[in-house]
């Protein structure tokens, strides 16, 4: 059981399979946008390819096209002006279902080979994709390149590797031979066919239009399903480019390109109709709780894999690297202006302060020192712009204003508007830090997406750990952290995360940050708390996307 494209990319697949089994560092796609790695002309060509799309109709040749729609507003203030095909959703579904038979017939090896080729092709377009991600999301360039291209591709490959591992356990054929004492054995020839469940709908988010889309997209595809990508209305371009590349690979392979399509619609009703269509058997969604709960309630015919809101948090008990701790936190709070589903929102600090290598620091000192660390870190404009990027949505801007105005509690550090010389219309904001008492639960116990964080005064470390557990259990989180020099504190926090089911980072002071997760090694989400009912990636993320249909007969 093989396929030429599987053989072509065998080393990549084997690397990924080894990586998910050992969970050490590994990556298939270089994260540095370096000419040595991507080619001397790649950067310039990618920029030109991106520029050539602006102001144009993005042709996809999909079935059932009825018009064009666009209207993305760049957080950097540039004019995008791209419009995309609007297609009858029923035509996209019919096209996907039609394409599935040939995709099924290709078998797991063939599907895996084609997916690997798709990922390799996406990697070749990394620069153009990075510009599209940057300009639609407001990410800084380096982040847009890394998270938008190679890291997203790694997450896609990770899903393909899990899908391959699960599918490769299912033998194509078996001879079943049951002894019958002195009589001849009963013999049955059996065949096992892997069949995708149906259409996979992948609903993207505004901030990570590739990183949060590729896992579901490739998990569904690799397991035999057709996929309709429904991007966020303000981050269509990276999804459209992805779909075009995937359709091109399918066509080259003599496969029906309608296996993968893009659904652009100005109407939420269309998305709802799609999500509840009987042919749609899985929905991958990243976004807010409102639509997430709607999906859980209404899209009952489908498996829903949803990443929703959460309240990520950190408990600070003590440290022997106070400055490094503050520096690490300052970076986390600043990166992409906190517009990450993994950014810490609540930092629990004991009322009596914390122990450090420089002696005790009171709660107020911790507040002041963290504020200074953020200011210092963002002191150089070129660093600030590279790290902060721009604010993606008007809602986030409004939340920042609300926080700055003191409506969410005493302001420890006010958000400042910065001017980006390269993008005069960009909405750039530094983080706002707020002081808060543990009792003010309404302030910090709902997600306030963006660069808004609360330094929450708790009775003591034990109370902080208990509060962290309760917040995660009730409101969800993708990440929590702890700082302590006391093993028993770390043990207590560890046990709390087992109960609340959230990933824990311990004493981060160096070049790894609580809001970052590395494909193949770090699970993104556990699937066990309200922030997400699935993880990137694990067996559960792929195993229920296909069924095995057997047939048997006497030999």
Q: How far is the CB of 84 from a copy of itself (least distance, A)?
A: 32
Q: Are 389 and 336 a contacting pair, CB within 8 Å? A: yes
* Burial (Cβ within 10 Å: 0-12, 13-18, ≥19) of residue 15: middle
**CB closer to a copy of itself, 393 vs 497:** 497
Which residues fall within 8 angstroms of residue 54, CB to CB, at 6 or more apart?
A: 79, 80, 81, 82
Q: Are 129 and 149 a contacting pair, CB within 8 Å? A: yes
Q: How far is the CB of 321 from a copy of itself (least distance, A)?
A: 10
Closest CA to 159 of 112, 126, 123: 112
Q: How far is the CB of 213 from a copy of itself (least distance, A)?
A: 22
CA dist., res. 58 & res. 391, Å (int): 26
What is the C-alpha end-to-end distance of the chain, expressed in Å?
23
**CB closer to a copy of itself, 117 vs 469:** 469
* Burial (Cβ within 10 Å: 0-12, 13-18, ≥19) of residue 530: buried
Q: How far is the CB of 89 from a copy of itself (least distance, A)?
A: 21
- The phi, psi pair for 341, rounded to 5°, reads -70, -5
**CB closer to a copy of itself, 84 vs 513:** 513
Tokens of 181: 């004492």
Instruction: Give the angle 332-335-337 at the CA atoms, nearest 5°.
Output: 115
Alpha helices in 337-429 (DSSP H): 363-377, 381-388, 394-404
Query: Across the chain, how many H-helices and E-strands are there?
Result: 20, 21
CA dist., res. 60 & res. 48, Å (int): 20
Q: How far is the CB of 289 from a copy of itself (least distance, A)?
A: 14
Place of tokens 């390799």: 120
- Per the DSSP assignment, residues forming a β-bridge with 280 are 199
**CB closer to a copy of itself, 51 vs 474:** 474
**CB closer to a copy of itself, 265 vs 521:** 521
Torsion-angle region of 350 (φ positive above 0: left; ψ -120 to 50: alpha; else: beta): beta
Q: How far is the CB of 421 from a copy of itself (least distance, A)?
A: 29
**CB closer to a copy of itself, 223 vs 392:** 223
Q: How far is the CB of 524 from a copy of itself (least distance, A)?
A: 10
**CB closer to a copy of itself, 147 vs 408:** 147
**CB closer to a copy of itself, 2 vs 189:** 189
Q: How far is the CB of 184 from a copy of itself (least distance, A)?
A: 10
**CB closer to a copy of itself, 376 vs 552:** 552
Q: How far is the CB of 216 from a copy of itself (least distance, A)?
A: 15
**CB closer to a copy of itself, 24 vs 410:** 24
Q: How far is the CB of 200 from a copy of itself (least distance, A)?
A: 14
Which residues fall within 8 angstroms of residue 461, CB to CB, at 6 or more apart?
A: 315, 317, 350, 484, 489
Q: How far is the CB of 546 from a copy of itself (least distance, A)?
A: 9
CA dist., res. 123 & res. 470, Å (int): 41
* Burial (Cβ within 10 Å: 0-12, 13-18, ≥19) of residue 98: middle
Q: How far is the CB of 533 from a copy of itself (least distance, A)?
A: 9
3-class state of residue 173 by DSSP: strand
Q: Which residues bind a copy of itself (CB under 8 A)?
A: 20-25, 104, 165-166, 169, 171, 174-180, 186, 188, 190, 192-193, 195, 197, 296, 300, 494, 497-498, 501-512, 518, 521-523, 526-528, 535, 538-540, 543-544, 547-554
**CB closer to a copy of itself, 5 vs 219:** 219
Place of tokens 């963002």: 378
**CB closer to a copy of itself, 62 vs 319:** 319
Give 71-127 as a DSSP string. ----TT------EEEEE-HHHHHHHHHHHHHHHHHHHHHHHHHHHHHHHHHHHHTHH
- The phi, psi pair for 446, rounded to 5°, reads -130, 155
**CB closer to a copy of itself, 5 vs 502:** 502
The CA-atom distances, in angstroms, between 238 and each of 149, 154, 414 are 10, 16, 33
Q: How far is the CB of 313 from a copy of itself (least distance, A)?
A: 15
């Amino acid at each position: 059981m093989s396929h030429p494209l599987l053989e072509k990319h065998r080393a990549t697949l084997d690397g990924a399979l080894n990586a998910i089994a050992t969970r050490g560092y590994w990556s298939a796609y270089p994260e540095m946008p370096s000419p040595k790695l991507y080619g001397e002309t790649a950067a310039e060509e990618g920029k030109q390819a991106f520029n050539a799309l602006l102001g144009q109709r993005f042709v996809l040749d999909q079935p059932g096209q009825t018009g064009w729609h666009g209207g993305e507003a760049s957080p950097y203030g540039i004019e995008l002006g791209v419009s995309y095909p609007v297609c009858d959703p029923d035509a996209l579904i019919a096209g996907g279902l039609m394409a599935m038979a040939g995709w099924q017939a290709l078998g797991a090896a063939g599907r895996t080979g084609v997916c690997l080729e798709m990922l390799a092709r996406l990697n070749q377009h990394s620069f153009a994709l990075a510009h599209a991600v940057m300009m639609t999301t407001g990410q800084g360039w380096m982040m847009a390149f890394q998270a938008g291209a190679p890291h997203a591709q790694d997450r896609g490959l990770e899903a393909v590797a899990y899908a391959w591992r699960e599918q490769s356990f299912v033998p194509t054929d078996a001879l079943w031979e049951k002894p019958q004492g002195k009589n001849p054995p009963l013999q049955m020839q059996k065949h096992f066919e892997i069949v995708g469940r149906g259409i996979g709908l992948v609903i993207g988010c505004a901030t990570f239009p590739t990183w949060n889309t590729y896992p579901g997209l490739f998990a569904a595809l690799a397991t035999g399903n057709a996929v309709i990508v429904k991007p966020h209305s303000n981050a269509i371009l990276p999804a459209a480019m992805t779909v075009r590349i995937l359709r091109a690979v399918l066509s080259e392979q003599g496969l029906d390109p309608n296996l993968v399509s893009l659904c652009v619609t100005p109407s939420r009703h269309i998305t709802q109709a799609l999500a509840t269509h009987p042919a749609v058997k899985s929905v991958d969604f990243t976004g807010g709780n409102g639509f997430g709960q709607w999906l859980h309630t209404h899209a009952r015919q489908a498996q829903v894999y949803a990443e929703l809101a959460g309240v990520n948090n950190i408990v600070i008990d003590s440290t022997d690297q106070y400055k490094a701790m503050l520096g690490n936190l300052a970076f986390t709070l600043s990166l992409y202006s906190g517009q990450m589903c993994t950014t810490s929102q609540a930092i629990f600090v004991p009322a009596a302060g914390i122990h450090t290598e420089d002696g005790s620091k009171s709660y107020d000192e911790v507040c002041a020192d963290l504020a200074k660390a953020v200011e210092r870190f963002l002191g150089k404009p070129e660093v600030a712009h590279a790290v902060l990027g721009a604010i993606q949505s008007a809602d986030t801007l409004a939340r920042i204003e609300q926080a700055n105005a003191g409506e969410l509690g005493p302001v420890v550090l006010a958000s400042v508007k910065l001017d980006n010389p390269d993008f005069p219309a960009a909405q750039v904001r530094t983080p706002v830090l707020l002081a808060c008492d543990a009792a003010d639960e309404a302030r910090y116990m709902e997600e306030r997406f963006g660069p808004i964080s609360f330094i929450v005064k708790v009775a003591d470390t034990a109370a902080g750990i208990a509060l962290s557990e309760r917040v995660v259990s009730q409101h969800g989180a993708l990440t929590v952290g702890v700082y302590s020099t006391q093993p028993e504190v770390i043990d207590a926090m560890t046990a709390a995360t087992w109960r609340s089911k959230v990933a824990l980072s311990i004493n981060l002071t160096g070049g790894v940050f609580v809001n970052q997760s590395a494909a193949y090694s770090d699970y993104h989400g556990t699937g066990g708390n309200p922030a997400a009912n699935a993880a990137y990636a694990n067996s559960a993320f792929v195993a229920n996307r296909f069924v095995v249909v057997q047939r048997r007969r006497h030999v």
